[in-house]
Structure 1
Amino acid sequence: MQDVLKKLKEILLEEDRKSQERINKKVADLQQEIQGIRDDQDLKPVIQKTVRTELQESKDALIEAIYPLMGRLIRKFIQIEFEKLSENVDKQLDRTFSLQNIKKQVIALWEGVSHKDLIIKELIPPVVEEVFVISQESGILHGKYSHKNTIDQDIIAGMLTAIKSFIEDAFQQKTGSLDMIEYGTFKIIIQNSYKFYLAAIVSGSVNSKFKSQLMDYLELFAEQYLTKPLDELTEADVSDNLKPNFDQFNATSK
């Protein structure tokens, strides 16, 4: 009887032992998996740093590799846009003998612009996207207007640098006249006042009439809002005055 009980006990203990071994193996597997995840987390910043370093050191090679592709894409985009523009202009010119178009030709002659320029202005109307008020003495931005905040801040920073360089070159050459420069697809129209330079960033098609209107408007704004002593002109006040004035200009100049 004792032998039977002993045998039964061994059988039961054997099952327990095997069950315990299975549990231990699963625990060990889980611990190994968790350790692997921890190792991955530890490696993550190392991998990120390595990738950043590699990209930084290979920046020229990367640019060289993608530049031809970007160039082709940009040229293709410009070509397509010009084809669209040319097609739209041709359609407008095909309707030259309509009463409305004859009226437009008369207006163009009266304003001293070509009929084609007038049509292009209608197809791609100019919009004042940004206005910067820059102190002549310090070169510091003293006020800013944004139409819809659509221009990237890096591009704006580049524009400010281009404006300041243009102003400095004109000052050194003592030409006495600041006019207009191009920055990518934008035109930067600059008006000189007593204490400030006013720079308007314009998208769309700019003809001589629009440019003249805008420069007059910039001059008028300077006379009305920028004649106080500098210590009384805060950047917030200047920006607050720019907003309604150039929103109105955009609404009425089209």
Structure 2
Amino acid sequence: MSKALLYRKLKQILLEEEKEVQRSVQEQLRLTDEKIEDREKLEARVQPILEDNVIHLKRNFSALFGDEVTQSIRDQIKNSQEEVIEALYPIIGKMIKKYIVKELELLSERIDRQLESAFSWKNFANRLKAWFAGAKPSTTITRDLLEPSLEQILVVQKDSGILVGSYTRSQNVDTDMIAGMLTAIKAFAEDAFDKGQDLENIEYETFKLVIRSFRSFYVVAAVSGGWNASFKNRLDDLILDFTSKILTKNLVDNEENSKLNESVQLYFDQVLNDSK
């Protein structure tokens, strides 16, 4: 076989392979174009159906998924009861306090009416004193009591008994030692009587220690002087506001104890100075 013939056959074989590659590439391009066109056609057909389904879901979401959503929320609340309670405690506490304050106002009005209708030398003297002072008789009687004063605030971790923040009028107080002692006393009293209840008050000579417990910490307020419902209401409101505005946020943010203690001092300094 001549060289020219071999060359032609070789050229023919190479050309056939090249044509086969071209045909394969063209076929792939054709299939790709068809897929793109088919997708666009499919989207054009399916899009109205999807939009109708979305509108249907919006209108009937409660009927379709209401039970599932409700059950999911119940499960979340059940599994996170302590977190939910701590988040809602200040809000619910304020609502309850408003109701109690309103009821106390109504009670005070009823007492005023009874005092005004009563006839005795003592009542007459109180009425005369109130008249000269321009106040109600019940207000005059209340002012005869010794005015209570907030002397100290301690914020203590429940489990460890570590003092995480404090406010005090006197600097000559070992707050860390007091926090440890209070934790021990509180735990002993609650274990000895009823674990389902919290120790709320301790009286020591002229001081009354008011304890308000939360999930992971408790707040202790040392009060001197007389103790009355009005001051108790103001103190509870102060602790609830402090918890919701300062304490809960700082504990969630895991602030250092020094920064938290500074926040406690600044908060009560400002609040108590503003209330004067």
TM-score of the aligned structures, taking structure 2 as reference length: 0.46
Larger radius of gyration: 2
